[in-house]
Amino acid sequence: MNQTITKLSSIKSKALGYWSERIISQLEYALELSLINSNQYNELIKNTVEFLDKKLVEDGSITKCSALEAEKMLGSLSEAAKKFKIICAAHAHIDMNWMWGYAETVAVTLDTFRTMLNLMNEYPEFTFSQSQASVYKIVEENDPCMLEEIKKRVKEGRWEVTASTWVETDKNMPNGESLARHILYTKKYLSELLDICPDSLKIDFEPDTFGHNLNVPEILSNGGVKFYYHCRGYDKRHIYRWQSPSGKTILVYREPFWYNAQIDSSMALHVPEFCTKHGLDTMLKVYGVGDHGGGPTRRDIEKIIDMASWPVFPDIKFGTFAQYFNAVEKISDTLPVETNELNFIFTGCYTSQSRIKMSNRIGEAKLNEAEAYSAISSAFADGKYCSKTFENAWEKVLFNHFHDILPGSGVIDTREYAMGQFQEVLAAANTETSKAFRNITSKIDTSGLFAFEEDIRDTISEGAGVGFAIKDFGVPQTERGRGKGRILHFFNPSGSERTEPVEVIIWDWPGDSDRMLIRDASGNPVRHQLLKNDKQHFTGESYWGHKYMRVLIDVTVPAYGYTTYTLIEKDMNTILTQLSSSYRVEREDAYVLENDYIKVCFDTNNAYIISMVDKRSGEEMVPDNKPTGIFRLIEEDDRRGMTSWIVGRYMQIFNLNESKNVKISGSCLDASALKQWIKYSIEFGKSKINVTVSLDYNSTRLNYTIECDWQERAVKGKYVPQLNFYMPLNYKCKAYKYDIPFGTIERDAKDMDVPGNSWMAGIPEEGTKTVMLVTDTKYGFRGFNDSLAVSLIRSSYDPDPYPEFGIHEFSFALDIVENATNGELIKRAFDYNHPIRFISGTVHEGTMPLEKSFISLESGSVAISAVKVPETDSLKQEGSCCSASECTASCKKIIMRVYETEGVKTKAVVKFAEKISKAWFVDINEKLLTDKNTSDECESTCGCSSDNCNTDNCNDENCNCIEIDGDTLTFDVDAYSIANICVELG
What is the C-alpha end-to-end distance of the chain, expressed in Å?
81
Domains along the sequence of the chain with CATH: 2-82 (no CATH), 85-345 (3.20.110.10), 350-442 (1.20.1270.50), 591-835 (2.70.98.30), 853-985 (no CATH)
Q: What is the rounded distance in angstroms from the CA atom of residue 741 to the CA atom of residue 735?
A: 19
Q: Would the pLDDT of 668 be above 80?
A: yes
Q: Determine the average pLDDT of the residues in 619-646.
A: 96
Q: Would the pLDDT of 952 be above 70?
A: no
pLDDT of residue 201: 98
Range name among 9-23, 464-478, 678-692 with the lowest pLDDT average: 464-478
pTM of the prediction?
0.94
Structure-model confidence comparison of residues 727 and 877, the more confident one: 727
HEC string for 275-286? HHHHCCCEEEEE
**pLDDT digit string (tens) for 767-807?**
889 999 999 999 999 999 999 999 999 999 999 999 999 99
Q: What is the rounded distance in angstroms from the CA atom of residue 700 to the CA atom of residue 481?
A: 35
Contact 870, 378 (CB under 8 A): no
Q: What is the rounded distance in angstroms from the CA atom of residue 323 to the CA atom of residue 339?
A: 26
pLDDT of residue 455: 64
What DSSP character marks residue 532? P
**pLDDT digit string (tens) for 391-419?**
999 999 999 999 999 999 999 999 999 99
CA angle, 699 then 704 then 705, to 5°: 120
**pLDDT digit string (tens) for 801-840?**
999 999 999 999 999 999 999 999 999 999 999 999 999 9
Range name among 113-122, 327-336, 879-888 with the lowest pLDDT average: 879-888
pLDDT of residue 231: 95
**pLDDT digit string (tens) for 16-47?**
999 999 999 999 999 999 999 999 999 999 99
Q: What is the rounded distance in angstroms from the CA atom of residue 962 to the CA atom of residue 812?
A: 39
What's the Cα-to-Cα distance from 452 to each of 44, 502, 516, 572, rounded to whole Å? 104, 25, 16, 19
**pLDDT digit string (tens) for 569-604?**
998 775 544 444 444 555 567 899 999 999 999 999
- Which of 748, 751, 775 minimizes the C-alpha distance to 762? 748
pLDDT of residue 474: 87
Q: What is the rounded distance in angstroms from the CA atom of residue 230 to the CA atom of residue 432?
A: 37
pLDDT of residue 481: 87
**pLDDT digit string (tens) for 161-212?**
999 999 999 999 999 999 999 999 999 999 999 999 999 999 999 999 999 9
Q: Would the pLDDT of 914 be above 80?
A: yes
At residue 886 the predicted structure's pLDDT band, cuts being 50, 70 and 90, is low
At residue 545 the predicted structure's pLDDT band, cuts being 50, 70 and 90, is confident
Beta bridge partners of 636: 650, 720
Contact 227, 202 (CB under 8 A): yes
- Which of 438, 437, 481, 432 minimizes the C-alpha distance to 461? 481
At residue 549 the predicted structure's pLDDT band, cuts being 50, 70 and 90, is very high
HEC string for 910-927? EEECCCEEEEEEECCCCC
Concatenated DSSP letters of 208-267: T-S-B-TTHHHHHHHTT--EEEE-SS--S-SEEEEE-TTS-EEEEEE-SS-SSB---GGG
Contacts of 779 (CB under 8 A, 6+ apart): 172, 173, 350, 351, 357, 755, 756, 757, 758
Type and span of the H or E element at 487: strand 486-491
At residue 930 the predicted structure's pLDDT band, cuts being 50, 70 and 90, is confident
User: Average pLDDT over the chain, rounded to whole?
Assistant: 93
pLDDT of residue 438: 97
Contact 528, 502 (CB under 8 A): no
Torsion of CA 241, 247, 250, 252, to 10 degrees: -30
Q: Determine the average pLDDT of the residues in 467-493.
A: 91
Concatenated DSSP letters of 944-966: TT-TT--GGG---TT--PPEEET
CA angle, 274 then 277 then 279, to 5°: 100
Q: What is the rounded distance in angstroms from the CA atom of residue 963 to the CA atom of residue 970?
A: 5
Q: What is the rounded distance in angstroms from the CA atom of residue 476 to the CA atom of residue 474?
A: 7
